[in-house]
Amino acid sequence: MTAISKEMEYFQTFIDQLSEAVVVLNKNEEITAVNQHYLNLTNQADFETRKSVEEVLLRHSDGEEGTLLAVNGFISVKVSEGTLPFGESSVRYYILKELPAVVHSCQEPLMKTLMNIVPDFIGIKDGDGRFIFANEFVGELFELPGFDFTGKTDADLAEITPDFRDVFQYCIETDEQVWQAREIVRCEEFVPARDGSTRFFDVYKIPVFHPDGTRKNLLVFGREVTEKIESRQLLEESEARYRLLAENAMDMITTHKADGSFTYISPASYALLGKRPEEILGETGYGMLHPDDEEVSRKAHEELMAGPCTKTVPFRLQHKDGHYVWLETSCKSITDDTGKVVEIIGVTRDISDRKKSEDMLRQSDKLSIVGQLAASVAHEIRNPLTSLKGFIQFLQESHGINPSNYYSIMDKELDRIDQIMGQLLLLAKPQVRTFKKTCLKEIIEFVEALLQPEAIVQNIQIRTKMPKALPHIHAEENELKQVLINLLKNAIDSMVDGGEITIQAQMIDGQIHVTVKDQGCGIPRNRIEKMCEPFYTTKEKGTGLGLMISSKIMKEHNGELRFTSIEGKGTTASMILPV
């Protein structure tokens, strides 16, 4: 044994003889030794050294008193400190003297009164399970008002109140489990009532042991949580019903994290996409999204994340076999108490049949436009045909004339006919819907050229006002042509006495406004709101589909169709599109 270890042994023997608790520290404020009285005071068999003194002792502001952490709680102590020579150096020490208990005998009646007022179960048992104290709530709970529980065990109470025998037997079993665990245990206990209902309690059981490890007291605290339990049961039943609906609904029901990833998907995903829920969980869905629909979907997600709102978005997702399916999702963002969006709920359905019907209506509207344009286009085609026929007759009757001098003129007339027919075919034939970077200026020029012949026949002049440059937009070119043709055709039809139509494009508040202003008969105020309703028309041979389809096209482009009118002076139709 070294000299230092021998000296340490003598030192430990010395401090163990002291009648106050002693804590020895090194220069790092770590505990290197405690005496036997410290172990007795804190109910510890031994002590793990190298702990920081702050882990076991909280010094008060005055420095003379503190709170010592013990196995069974906290002890108020008076703190004295000093140094002792040890070897070639010295050690610091604290002497901890236990202070008198805060609650004096004169305060005990007050404490009991307070515990009896509390509407909770409070009981204290000794090591053999006999009650030392039970507040008045315990007597009322077990229908023993004013009963003295002192000295009674749960087995005794089971004989006194047979109706609660099962409750007391359960208490005996859980008490023993707590003693064996030697730590605080939280459990749920129930007490039946005479009306057939059940009262539930959230119970804490705290075991207290003597210094030698034998059982001293069991503290029991129980708070009634019947209402909370019943609410939880109702919630679970409600969740079960909603889950049953979700699991069997034809629509796909989903929940998402804030980043858009799926947290729940109903089994309808297999019918819609050919994929089972587990194949999609954790993904965001953007990998299945049609490229043309990504921008509108991400924008809708940003709006949902900006605050609690509801969005309905049509888009296409790729089926497991490769083709795309038209779907429509109604989403709602859910926020927490702070207003932060924590979840998104969506209901998704297949709208493929609806899209087919809409495409058929669009095509029907196009054909209607083509039919209405046929007369004016026929007049426009007849002019070059007359020229061609005249040249052919002239060449047949004349001799010695070189026909090559007239070929270029005849070729230009044929090109004119081809151009007119091509424009009609472009309107009439079905088109694949493709959103792409589109120039509105070119669309306006195309529609103006197409309807100029009919306007001339009706003694109408079409004027355009456009800036030198307009921003490009992400759009379906042919659909915007269809909308503008509808507006311009309606303007021409309203001007039976001729006049002027102005097409103007301009930027207003970060949006492009394309207006068609006529000098026609105007629209009554009570009819303006019905302009875009299906099958509503003011024309004798109208279908009532044109403006309805035009309005829907504008909504699909995140735009808007507006009308203002003054009877007898004209109407202004506005196409408002985001850049």
What does the pLDDT read at residue 106?
39
What does the pLDDT read at residue 512?
92
Tell me the pLDDT tens digit for each residue of 537-561: 555 544 455 677 788 788 888 899 9
Tell me the pLDDT tens digit for each residue of 189-230: 888 877 778 888 888 888 888 888 888 889 898 888 888 877
**pLDDT > 70 in the chain, percent:** 79
- DSSP assignments along 407-441, one per residue: HHHHHHHHHHHHHHHHHHHHHHS------EEE-HH
Q: Determine the Cα–Cα distance for residues 34 and 23; give it in Å rounded to an integer.
A: 5
Dihedral sign of CA atoms 430, 432, 433, 437 in order:
negative
Beta strands 460-465 and 341-350: pairing type? unpaired
More confident residue, 172 or 47: 172
Amino acid identity at 522: G
Angle at 451 between CA 446 and CA 455, to 5 degrees: 145
Whether 302 has a pLDDT exceeding 70, the answer reads yes
Task: Quickly tell me which residue has 């529980």 as its tokens.
Answer: 149
Least confident of 77-81, 89-93, 201-205, 286-290: 89-93
| Residue 579 confidence class, pLDDT cut points 50, 70, 90 | confident
Dihedral sign of CA atoms 266, 268, 272, 275 in order:
positive
| Residue 105 confidence class, pLDDT cut points 50, 70, 90 | very low
What does the pLDDT read at residue 463?
92
Cβ atoms 83, 110 nearer than 8 A: no
For the chain, what is the mean pLDDT? 80
Region 146-153: what's the mean pLDDT?
87
**pLDDT > 90 in the chain, percent:** 10
Continuous segment of H or E residues that includes residue 482: helix 477-493
Cβ atoms 431, 405 nearer than 8 A: no
Whether 491 has a pLDDT exceeding 80, the answer reads yes
What does the pLDDT read at residue 535?
47
Tell me the pLDDT tens digit for each residue of 247-271: 666 788 888 888 888 888 888 888 8
* Region for residue 64 given its phi and psi (left: phi exceeds 0; alpha: psi -120 to 50; beta: otherwise): alpha
**Alpha carbon separation from 402 to 207, 410, 412 (Å, rounded):** 124, 14, 18
Tell me the pLDDT tens digit for each residue of 452-480: 877 887 889 999 998 888 888 888 888 88
Whether 514 has a pLDDT exceeding 90, the answer reads yes
Q: Determine the Cα–Cα distance for residues 277 and 411; give it in Å rounded to an integer.
A: 63
Whether 102 has a pLDDT exceeding 60, the answer reads no
More confident residue, 357 or 316: 316
More confident residue, 352 or 130: 130
What does the pLDDT read at residue 5?
67
Cβ-based neighbours of 315, under 8 Å, separated by 6 or more: 289, 290, 293, 296, 297, 326, 327, 328, 329
Q: Determine the Cα–Cα distance for residues 546 and 526; give it in Å rounded to an integer.
A: 19
Region 331-339: what's the mean pLDDT?
86
Whether 399 has a pLDDT exceeding 70, the answer reads no
More confident residue, 45 or 426: 45
Task: Quickly tell me which residue has 């129980």 as its tokens.
Answer: 222
| Residue 505 confidence class, pLDDT cut points 50, 70, 90 | very high
| Residue 179 confidence class, pLDDT cut points 50, 70, 90 | very high
Q: Determine the Cα–Cα distance for residues 382 and 233; give it in Å rounded to an integer.
A: 82
* Region for residue 244 given its phi and psi (left: phi exceeds 0; alpha: psi -120 to 50; beta: otherwise): alpha
Whether 28 has a pLDDT exceeding 90, the answer reads no
Region 425-434: what's the mean pLDDT?
57
What does the pLDDT read at residue 104?
39
pTM as predicted: 0.38
Q: Which two tokens stand for residue 167?
A: 């409750």
Region 4-22: what's the mean pLDDT?
81
